[in-house]
Amino acid sequence: MRKYAIDKVSKPERCASRKAGGTGYRYTCQVGGKICHLTYEENYKWFMPFVNKLETLIKNLTIQCVRLKEEVLQLRKEKKRLSEDVEFYKGKIKDMSDRTELLQEKADDLERVKRYAGAEQIDTIIRKVKEQERTEQQIRRYDRSYGTR
């Protein structure tokens, strides 16, 4: 008995078998480039193992396909979430960059004023303003604690 690799198999068709009074299924196969018709009853011993292997292979491939499809959906969701995070952080970086530029300009302006008016006078003014702010903050705390009773 020769063993051939089956290239292609069509769906089985109901047909009359060559045996008297029998019916069976006919498979149209492509074996080694040649088309042949095999009936279920005549070629069961060597044909059905190929069909069974094909069935299990198709089942396994279907299961893998479903798993991969689910994985693709999860990866798409993850990609979308990460893209949104990237856009959020890009916005944050831009805001921080703008704020840094503003603070740098203010620091440069302060240095210009120090050069023009004198560093000691500016330091004295800054110290007095800080003391005044601390005093106002303490008064607000005191009012919050005892003033509302």
Domain locations along the chain: 1-42
- What is the distance between the alpha carbons of residues 102 and 104, in angstroms, rounded to a whole number? 5
In this structure, the number of other CB atoms found within 10 A of the CB of residue 25 comes to: 14
More confident residue, 46 or 61: 61
Q: Given a cut of 80, is residue 47 above it in pLDDT?
A: no
Q: By mean pLDDT, which of 57-71, 88-102, 110-124, 125-139 is the weakest?
A: 110-124
Please report the pLDDT score of residue 87 as a whole number: 97
- What is the distance between the alpha carbons of residues 110 and 121, in angstroms, rounded to a whole number? 12
More confident residue, 101 or 7: 101
Average pLDDT along the chain = 79
